[in-house]
């Protein structure tokens, strides 16, 4: 380099400064945008969840839910007294079981009651007879004492006569033996008298009355079993399904109930809410209801009548097509406004809660 040439200056820090300013500007822009977005949101932050609709699924049922009816005792069906779709009054007979064996049980229990009544009467009669028996036994003891006194006098007379030779030794031995026998008989009569004095005939009376009470209970049980041979409607309602026939055997608690019964009550939708929607559903909230399986479904309106107080498994443990039953939900009862004649129990519905569609 010559002295006449000017030295070339370089600034290596200019690029770093520009890069730093670019990063700082980007961060500042993002921060401003986020703060501006928060300022535009309603108080509480985020979208107002309370203003969003909640969509859930449910099934149509009565406010008093459909119930399964079985006879209280096992047996063979001999008569079906109703048909599917028939409306019945409360306590109306629905079906009858064979009761021939139970009638024999009732007759047996009735005979046991009569026998217990006889035992009670006999015990009371014995209670009345006890004073007479005691008096008779006391007389027997007195008579035995008198016979002993006479036998001893005879023995003493024979003992004195023996000194004169008018009585033999054998006769004296016989007289002495008779005294001893009479003394033993007196002891036996006194023992019988003591036994009668200790006897308490009221115990037999009470025991007989207890037996009669047990017989009465057995008779009531037999008659109750006869009554249970007829299955009665618990309330007024409609028979939805008859799942047995004449000649078949039925029993309580079987997987397939004999009769499916719907009590008289308004139709509602028992919807199932997942946990994330709990704070957004309130009693009185409006509802729009449609059939979940029909694209041309009519629309019903209603409102929330009740929200459950427990998060639990779904009532139905069976795997229904298109449903998941391994998620815990909260039951929500949605009342239906207007005519519900087009709805069927068990119909799957889609419910929109909120402002509606």
CATH 2.40.30.170 domain position(s) in the chain: 51-65+264-353
307, two tokens: 């929200």
Q: At 114, is the pLDDT very low, low, confident or very high (cuts 50, 70, 90)? A: very high
In angstroms, the CA 170 to CA 168 distance is: 5
- Radius of gyration of the chain from its Cα atoms, rounded to whole angstroms: 50
Using an 8 Å Cβ cutoff, are 188 and 150 in contact? Answer: no
- Mean pLDDT lowest among 7-21, 151-165, 286-300: 7-21
Cα-flanking dihedrals φ and ψ of residue 271, to 5°? -85, 160
54-110 pLDDT, tens digit each: 999 999 999 999 999 999 999 999 999 999 999 999 999 999 999 999 999 999 999
Give percent above pLDDT 90 in the chain: 51
Residue 320 has pLDDT above 70, yes or no: no
Q: What is the second-level CATH architecture of the domain 67-98+230-262?
A: Beta Barrel (2.40)
- Mean pLDDT lowest among 43-57, 97-111, 244-258, 328-342: 43-57
Domain covering 51-65+264-353 assigned CATH 3.40.50.1000 in the classification: no
CATH 2.40.50.100 domain position(s) in the chain: 67-98+230-262
Q: What mean pLDDT, rounded, does the chain reach?
A: 86
| Cβ-defined contacts of 101-106 (< 8 Å, 24+) | 102/222, 102/225, 102/226, 102/229, 103/226, 105/222, 105/225, 106/219, 106/222, 106/223, 106/226
Count CB-CB contacts under 10 A for residue 54.
21
Residue 39 has pLDDT above 60, yes or no: no
DSSP string, 179-194: HHHHHHHHHHHHHHHH
Helix-, strand-, coil-residue percentages of the chain, each rounded to 5:
45, 20, 35
Nearest to 105 by CA among 75, 81, 77: 75
Whether pTM exceeds 0.75: no
Count CB-CB contacts under 10 A for residue 177.
12
Nearest to 112 by CA among 221, 225, 204: 221
In terms of Cβ atoms closer than 10 Å to its own Cβ (0-12, 13-18, 19+), residue 136 is middle
């Amino acid at each position: 380099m010559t002295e006449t040439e000017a030295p070339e200056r370089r600034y290596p820090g200019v690029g770093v400064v520009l890069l730093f300013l670019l990063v700082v500007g980007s961060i500042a822009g993002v921060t401003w945008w986020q703060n501006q977005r928060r300022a535009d949101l309603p108080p509480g932050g985020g979208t107002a969840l309370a203003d969003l609709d909640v969509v859930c699924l449910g099934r149509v049922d009565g406010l008093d839910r459909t119930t399964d009816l079985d006879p209280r005792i096992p047996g063979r069906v001999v008569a079906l007294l109703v048909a599917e779709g028939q409306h019945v009054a409360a306590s109306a007979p629905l079906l009858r079981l064979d009761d021939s064996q139970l009638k024999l049980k009732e007759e047996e229990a009735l005979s046991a009651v009569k026998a217990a009544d006889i035992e009670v009467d006999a015990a009371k009669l014995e209670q009345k007879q006890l004073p007479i028996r005691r008096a008779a036994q006391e007389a027997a003891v007195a008579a035995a004492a008198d016979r002993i006194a006479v036998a001893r006098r005879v023995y003493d007379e024979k003992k004195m006569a023996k000194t004169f030779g008018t009585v033999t030794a054998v006769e004296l031995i016989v007289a002495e033996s008779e005294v001893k026998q009479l003394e033993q008989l007196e002891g036996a009569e006194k023992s019988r008298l003591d036994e009668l004095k200790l006897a308490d005939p009221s115990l037999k009376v009470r025991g007989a009355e207890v037996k009669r009470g047990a017989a009465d209970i057995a008779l009531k049980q037999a008659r109750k079993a006869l009554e249970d041979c007829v299955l009665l409607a618990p309330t007024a309602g409609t028979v939805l399904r008859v799942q047995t026939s004449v000649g078949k055997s039925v029993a309580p608690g079987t997987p397939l109930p004999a009769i499916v019964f719907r009590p008289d009550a308004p139709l509602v939708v028992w919807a199932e809410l997942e946990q994330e929607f709990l704070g957004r559903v309130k009693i009185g909230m409006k509802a729009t209801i449609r059939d979940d399986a029909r694209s041309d479904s009519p629309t019903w309106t209603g409102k929330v009548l009740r929200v459950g107080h427990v998060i639990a498994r779904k009532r139905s443990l069976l795997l229904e097509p298109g449903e998941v039953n391994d998620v815990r939900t909260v039951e929500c009862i949605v009342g239906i406004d207007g005519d519900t004649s087009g709805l069927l129990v068990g119909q799957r519905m889609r419910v929109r809660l909120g402002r509606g569609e």
